[in-house]
């Protein structure tokens, strides 16, 4: 009565695609960062599922490193958001078109 690994792959694929759609269609920068968190969690599900499947702990250790990178990304990303909000007093990405051609 075990779950086949393809179910975990489908679940993680759906969550990852939801994150991609969120990054593409949201205008709020905080919502975009939350969608990036969704994508990181999808990869974590994949890592842990394969770690259980192959009976190898390397996958779980890599989830740690993904967690570290997620924490660093959140800290720097939110600092950038605060700096942007201080200079423009908005966090709508339509307003930040300085680098748009």
Partner 1 sequence: MSQLVFAYFAGMIIAASVLVVALKNPVYSALSLLVMFFHVAGLFVTLHAEFLAAVQIIVYAGAILVLYLFVVMILNVKQDDRYHNQWRIAGFVCIPLMMEAMVLLSGGAETRTAGSQAVLGPSAQAIAPDNTFAIGQTLFSTYLFPFEVASLVLLVAMIGAIVLAKREIGEQDDPSPMVQTKAVE
Dist CA 76 CA 69 (whole Å):
11
Q: Is 99 helix (H, G, I), strand (E, B) or coil?
A: coil
How many angstroms separate the Cα of 12 from the Cα of each of 21, 47, 73, 91? Answer: 14, 10, 21, 29
Minimum distance of partner 1 from residue 46's CB (angstroms): 11
Question: Of 86 and 100, which has the nearer Cβ to partner 1?
Answer: 86
- Binding footprint of partner 1 on the chain (CB under 8 A): 1-3, 5-7, 9-11, 13-15, 17-22, 24-28, 30-31, 33-35, 37-38, 41, 44-45, 48-49, 51-58, 60-61, 63-65, 67-76, 78-83, 85-86, 89, 91-93
């Amino acid at each position: 009565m075990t779950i086949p690994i393809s179910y975990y792959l489908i679940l993680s694929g759906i969550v990852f695609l939801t994150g991609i759609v969120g990054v593409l269609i949201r205008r709020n920068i905080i919502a975009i960062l939350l969608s990036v968190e969704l994508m990181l969690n999808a990869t974590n599900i994949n890592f842990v599922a394969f770690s259980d499947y192959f009976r190898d702990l390397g996958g779980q250790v890599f989830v740690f490193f993904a967690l570290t990178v997620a924490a660093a990304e959140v800290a720097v990303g939110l600092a950038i958001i605060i700096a942007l909000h201080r200079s423009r007093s908005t966090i709508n990405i339509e307003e930040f078109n300085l680098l748009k051609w």
